[in-house]
Structure 1
Amino acid sequence: MTFMAVNHVLIGISGGIAAYKVCEVVSSLAKRGVEVRVILTRSAAEFVTPLTFATLSRQPAYTDADFWQPINGRPLHIELAEWADVFLLAPVTANTLAKLAYGMADNLLTNTVLASSCPILFAPAMNTTMWLQPTVQENWQKLLKDSRYTAIAPTDGILACDAVGTGRMAEPEIILEYLESFLFTQGKRDLQGKKILVNAGGTREFIDPVRFIGNPSTGKQGIAIAKAAIHRGATVTLITTSNSPLPMGEAPPSVRVVRTSAEMHQVMLEEFPFADITIAAAAVGDVRSKITSDRKLPKSELPLNLELEYIPDIVADLSKRKRPDQILVGFAAQTGTEQEVMVAAKDKLIRKGLDAIAANAVNSSQTGFGTDTNQATFINKDGKFLSTPLCSKLELAHRLLDFLL
């Protein structure tokens, strides 16, 4: 994460076994220089002690016993509420979910929620049967309608009670990504109601079942774009060459895994008509072998002169089918000088009939394939452009979405 060091994150913990996962969240934030403060309910302190969170955050951890102990002469819940840039509630139990839905304030945590005005990120966790109760679902849906709240939906799996189903709190990595997005967007959900189609990863053009022509793309940037869109409330479809799980968000995303350019082309054509914004971040192959085998070829049978053919251009094909209300965005992964990268990107923008393009140099150890950071220049068809600083791929994704909106 590259833009969190000056921010204040307040974390409220309810009494569930998933409280142990929040230790990693607090530790990770503190190690990155983020100021973190923690509030525990009385039952939360039965699972993880306040001392643990105080040690991990390098700050005091507060409980109901501290309610009437002022900070700087001011009530504790007011001071904490005004201090926070983002309020993370994790885990949120059925009891706390009900209190939040109805504006109840009977402990330090819920009083601080009502006294705060910052965006709130909340991650429920409970037994599957409890989660599926109509009253719990009603409270869940009620909070989703509140613009201050953004949900990190529970996932499926084996729960602490040995039940199998929905109710697991999101993993720390997912929560940290949401926080990174929140601290950049301030919790805005400006893509609610929008359908975003993204492709990601490098295609493989097979010569036989074990040999292929490919490229080093890992799909990290495309996956980051899909995550950023989910964090902002979009309904997302990701077409990827790797099976990459996405956060559930408010609308469950669709992930379709492909291998070859032909498979990706077909699936993109199927999904494109439903998309408001399509971002083609995949590194699709340019050529493939004219002859392929359905069995592994012995070394002696491998052709030393491989006859190739061009692969149909997916983005150019989508451009021909684009409606006026759709936005189509491409990526230009180039090598060379900054000027050479820009010239190639502008050529692709015009030649392929795109609405915008992201030009990025891949001949750098910090912006090449497989890196966690990236830098790009965005250009639209009207000539507007924006260059980003070197940043995380999630931040770059948000900057691209801001450029398009």
Structure 2
Amino acid sequence: MRAATTHRVILGIGGGIAAYKICEVASSLAKIGVDVVPVMTAGAQEFVTPLSLATLCRHPAYTDRDFWAATHSRPLHIDLGESADLLVIAPLTANTLGKLAHGLADNLLTNTVLASTCPVLLVPAMNTDMWQQHSVQRNWQQLLADPRYHAIAPGAGRLACDRVGQGRLAEPQEILAVIDSLLLTRGQRDLAGKHLLISAGSTQEYLDPVRFIGNPSTGKMGVALAQAAAHRGAAVTLVHGPMAVEHRQALTGVQQIAVTTAAEMQQALVAQLPQADWIIMAAAVADVRPRDRAPQKLPKAALPDQLPLAPVPDIAAHLASLKKDHQRLIGFAAQTGEIESPARQKLQRKGLDAIVANPIDRANSGFGSDSNQAILLGRSGQRHEVPACAKRHLAHQIYDFVNALGDR
């Protein structure tokens, strides 16, 4: 008997060489306490053994042999379907895709899908020519029109057949990120039809080509916000400062605009503002810049003893002066010590609709951390405290909070 707080994920594995990647997904989920139940098609067993999946999942791997065996008190597909919080099919083959699109069920996996009501995550992988077939694309689009189905489209690259093109299975970390969001939101797409404009990372204000004023922000919170919004159905534009390649690669389907300075960030955000419904200012923008910028590296002896500084634009306040009545502007306040009072002042002073006050002087919070904690404040006095959690979990709670503010 699983604990009431444990999520159960039915992990359906189709027949394809990409099945080996699912071993990492299965192991990662099991390690964080998710109840992972592998269900393998006959084709999948040609690439990965049931014993391998059972060992990684800490749970028996079910096959069609179990489906047809009279060893269960209730039909196996009914038990699996009714107990699932999420069903993931990866790799999704053209064969299984066609069956699902037409409501067909001739094996344990497809019968379990029809016997369940939970969200289903589809992660296809196949040869480029197979993926581009009209019939395959028709089936794909038909399933995507059903709100129950969520998907990670195949990526492009070198395939097992040596073809270079679209058809690669999504990487395990991307699959895990979407699974995480779907378990948190139960598959809701409450941001569908909205366009979110998000800023992330630090800005850098240069003294010369190699020296700058900046801060330790890595952009992880902004990446989490962009992922969570996309997983909830939003169109997302992320304007970000210098950021690690792995963070940028984690943003499939998100429009990215790279900038360096505060002035460049303001220009990009103002340009994107008209199409945005919500603007989330998660970037740690520099407060000042060197008054003068040298075109060449200054010799050490030429560095000034006192550095003349000039203010940078207050981007959040400027956006507040430009936004329309239907738009919501949410700021961030990275603070040390007592965080709530300064955040409330910033909320009012800058004309924000809500603000996220988060400490940067506590363990496992703030810049560079994978986790965060915050106090969420609304303009009309709303308040919600979020204890330490993964940054993507905080992002979802921020969206829940903003949704609860109601329409303007």
Taking structure 2 as the reference length, the TM-score comes to: 0.95
Equivalent of residue 353 in structure 2, options 337, 352, 355? 355
- Partner residue of 1:60? 60
- Structure 2 stretches lacking a partner, 5+ long: 404-408
Aligned residues of 1:69 and 1:75 also touching (Cα < 8 A): no
1:113-128 equivalent positions in 2, closer than 5 A: 113-128=113-128
Equivalent of residue 245 in structure 1, options 242, 249, 259? 249
- Partner residue of 1:34? 34
Q: Does 1:300 align with 2:301?
A: yes
Q: Structure 1 residue 68: deviation in Å?
A: 2.1
Q: Structure 1 residue 70: deviation in Å?
A: 5.0
Which AA in structure 1 matches 2:96?
T
- Partner residue of 1:287? 288
Over 3 Å counting, the alpha-carbon distance change for 1:371 and 1:70 in structure 2 is: farther
SS in 1 for 2:10: strand
1: distance between equivalents of 2:16 and 2:122? 14
Q: Structure 1 residue 88: deviation in Å?
A: 0.7
Q: Does 1:228 align with 2:232?
A: no
- Partner residue of 2:186? 186
1:265-280 equivalent positions in 2, closer than 5 A: 265-280=266-281
1: distance between equivalents of 2:290 and 2:81? 62
Point out 4+ residue stretches in structure 1 off by more than 3 angstroms. Answer: none
1: distance between equivalents of 2:70 and 2:359? 53
1: distance between equivalents of 2:295 and 2:94? 54
- Partner residue of 1:376? 374
- Partner residue of 1:388? 386
2: distance between equivalents of 1:209 and 1:166? 39
- Partner residue of 2:406? none
Over 3 Å counting, the alpha-carbon distance change for 1:143 and 1:308 in structure 2 is: same
- Partner residue of 2:132? 132
Q: Structure 1 residue 231: deviation in Å?
A: 0.5
Which AA in structure 1 matches 2:157?
G
Instruction: Give deviations 1:169-190, integer Å, cap 9, x for gaps.
Output: 1111111111111111001111
Q: Structure 1 residue 247: deviation in Å?
A: 4.2
SS in 2 for 1:61: coil
- Partner residue of 1:162? 162
Aligned residues of 2:334 and 2:358 also touching (Cα < 8 A): yes
Q: Structure 1 residue 19: deviation in Å?
A: 0.5
- Partner residue of 1:211? 211
Instruction: Give deviations 1:182-216, integer Å, cap 9, x for gaps.
Output: 11100111111111111100111011111000000
Which AA in structure 2 matches 1:64?
D
Which AA in structure 1 matches 2:318?
D
- Partner residue of 1:48? 48
Structural RMSD (CA):
1.4
Which AA in structure 1 matches 2:170?
A
Q: Structure 1 residue 368: deviation in Å?
A: 2.3
- Partner residue of 1:309? 310
SS in 1 for 2:156: strand
Aligned residues of 2:223 and 2:251 also touching (Cα < 8 A): no
Instruction: Give deviations 1:109-128, integer Å, cap 9, x for gaps.
Output: 10110001111111111111
SS in 1 for 2:357: strand
1: distance between equivalents of 2:158 and 2:23? 20
Instruction: Give deviations 1:54-97, integer Å, cap 9, x for gaps.
Output: 11111110111111235650011111111211111111011111
Q: Structure 1 residue 267: deviation in Å?
A: 0.5
Which AA in structure 1 matches 2:255?
S
2: distance between equivalents of 1:29 and 1:156? 26
Which AA in structure 2 matches 1:267?
A
SS in 2 for 1:309: strand
2: distance between equivalents of 1:312 and 1:168? 43
Question: Sequence identity of aligned pairs in percent?
Answer: 55
SS in 1 for 2:326: coil
Which AA in structure 1 matches 2:313?
P
- Partner residue of 1:402? 400
- Partner residue of 2:8? 8
SS in 1 for 2:106: coil
- Partner residue of 2:174? 174
Q: Structure 1 residue 162: deviation in Å?
A: 1.3
Aligned residues of 1:69 and 1:76 also touching (Cα < 8 A): no
- Partner residue of 2:24? 24
- Structure 1 stretches lacking a partner, 5+ long: none
Q: Structure 1 residue 300: deviation in Å?
A: 1.2
Aligned residues of 2:216 and 2:368 also touching (Cα < 8 A): yes
Instruction: Give deviations 1:296-347, integer Å, cap 9, x for gaps.
Output: 111111112110011110111000001001011000000112xxx1110011
Aligned residues: 397
- Partner residue of 2:101? 101
Which AA in structure 1 matches 2:309?
L
2: distance between equivalents of 1:132 and 1:111? 27
Which AA in structure 2 matches 1:393?
K
Which AA in structure 2 matches 1:177?
A
Over 3 Å counting, the alpha-carbon distance change for 1:233 and 1:70 in structure 2 is: farther
2: distance between equivalents of 1:136 and 1:194? 29
Aligned residues of 2:375 and 2:384 also touching (Cα < 8 A): yes
Q: Structure 1 residue 384: deviation in Å?
A: 0.6
Which AA in structure 2 matches 1:99?
K
Taking structure 1 as the reference length, the TM-score comes to: 0.96
Aligned residues of 2:226 and 2:251 also touching (Cα < 8 A): no
Q: Structure 1 residue 6: deviation in Å?
A: 1.1
